[in-house]
Amino acid sequence: MTTMKINKCFCQILFVLTPPLLVSCGDTDWLDVKRYKADVMPHTFADLQAIMDNHFVVNLNYPVLGQISADDIYIPDDRLNSASVAERNAYIWAKDIYQGAASSEFAGPNEKISYANIVLERLPLADQTSESERAGIKGQALFLRSFATYQLAQLFCKAYDPATAGQDPGLQLRASSDPNLTSQRSTVQQTYDRILADALEAVELLPQQQPYRTRPTKAAAHGMLAKAYLVMGMFQQALNHADLALKDQAKILDFNSDIIQPSSTYRFPSFTAQRSNPEILFHAESMGLASVNPSQAITFIDSGLTSSYQNNDLRKTLFFRVDAQGRFQHVGRYTGTARVFTGIAANEMLLIQAECHARLGNTTEAISRLNLLLKNRFKAGTFTELQVSDKDSALNLILSERRKELVFTGQARWEDLRRLAKERPMPLRRRANGMEYALLPGDKRYVLPFPDLEIQLSGILQNQR
């Protein structure tokens, strides 16, 4: 698809949602004022695909504020003021995160949901479209809505608990692209029902392969389902979908590979590289928060985490660099850039397989999956396969390796602290500017507040912290 066509489609959508932004578009024939909404809405398959190929919306700016609230990092006092207000407040688990300001963590995923809803609304009216094209573009939109809703749920909803999910306040489940329509909050159960329903339908519609990793495939949709079922504690379902995600994407990157450049800043190739990371099922990147940007040198890694890597474990040198004071900073990223990888990848699927096998009593299979991952993480010829016979030891080992492998992968650690709060309660404590702060398991501050403007506009129930 040409850049000209994509730009035209972006102009159409921008005109509907924010007319003044049209001046930024390059095609002068689209600057004419349109009298009716129908004149400026997408109406062909090319238009709809251009919306789903908007990398800046679909693949960028996913939330990672939970990472700052988790226990993998610390911020020295002399660096804390270099972070934004929201980042500082998230770091100390303050009651008020945004202090009246807008929330990128709320707005970003909702923008993606709006894009998905535009495509789903316009698809039945689109011309020049074959059945396979309709199925593919609908699958992309449903995947995006599921993926974005999942991101919101990890911040603005309580952790899924089957005993209370039917009563716990959930998200606003928008099914329309009209920003003037207000939605009330669903329940947590209804929120996850939407995540699952969208991803399950996407699985049936998406192709096995896409020309770009910025477009989702069947494997990516299965990966989304594996992640959702895992946080719901539905381990057999999570295992089934992790298996399917890896069925056609079973490649695990050998960290001895020459596509990794240990001397480069971010170590790993970008998704646009000719030889890209084979583990990536769906490419997505975080918001550009100062505290997770290595060039800002604000955030450092907890010493308990860095000391857990063995000497021949290449992750210790590929994931981190050490400053002059001996502090570890995370730099090795599957994005190949300063932004955090927030997409879906085979390494996470392998860890979901391992955990679910352990929980279901299949200890041998669990350790087999873990060994497959680790033999590709150690210096060639140095890894000795693990031998574990009991379920509890296997699970402990897998969860430890999950933390080490998925450090600075989306909000994986935050999600784990939430879902494991009852099973493996871990009080978090930190000191900042002479004050002691604590976040206990099950604390209300594991749920972020909605931005004040959303409360004013929609009248929804605010999360209590």
Per-residue pLDDT band for 268 (boundaries 50, 70, 90) equals very high
Query: For the chain, what percent of residues have pLDDT higher than 90?
Result: 85
Per-residue pLDDT band for 39 (boundaries 50, 70, 90) equals low
pLDDT 10s digits, 234-247 = 999 999 999 999 99
Average pLDDT score over residue span 407-423: 97
Average pLDDT score over residue span 11-25: 38
Residue 227 pLDDT greater than 60, yes or no: yes
pLDDT 10s digits, 361-378 = 999 999 999 999 999 999
Q: For residue 326, with 0-12 CB atoms within 10 Å meaning exposed, 13-18 middle and 19 or more buried, which class applies? A: exposed
Quote the CA–CA distance of 205 and 137 in Å, as a whole number.
Answer: 8
Quote the CA–CA distance of 264 and 18 in Å, as a whole number.
Answer: 40
Average pLDDT score over residue span 6-14: 44
DSSP structure string for 315-375: HHHHHEEE-TTS-EEE---TTSSSSPB-SEEHHHHHHHHHHHHHHTT-HHHHHHHHHHHHT
Quote the CA–CA distance of 64 and 288 in Å, as a whole number.
Answer: 9
pLDDT 10s digits, 88-136 = 999 999 999 999 999 999 999 999 999 999 999 999 988 877 889 999 9
Q: How many residues does the chain have?
A: 465
Among left, alpha and beta (phi > 0; psi -120 to 50; other), residue 334 is: alpha
Residue 30 pLDDT greater than 70, yes or no: no
Q: Where are the domains of the chain?
A: 42-458
Average pLDDT, the chain: 91
Per-residue pLDDT band for 423 (boundaries 50, 70, 90) equals very high
Give the C-alpha distances (Å, rounded to integers) separating 397 from 97, 297, 356, 370, 445.
34, 31, 13, 9, 28
Q: Which fold would CATH assign to domain 42-458? A: 1.25.40
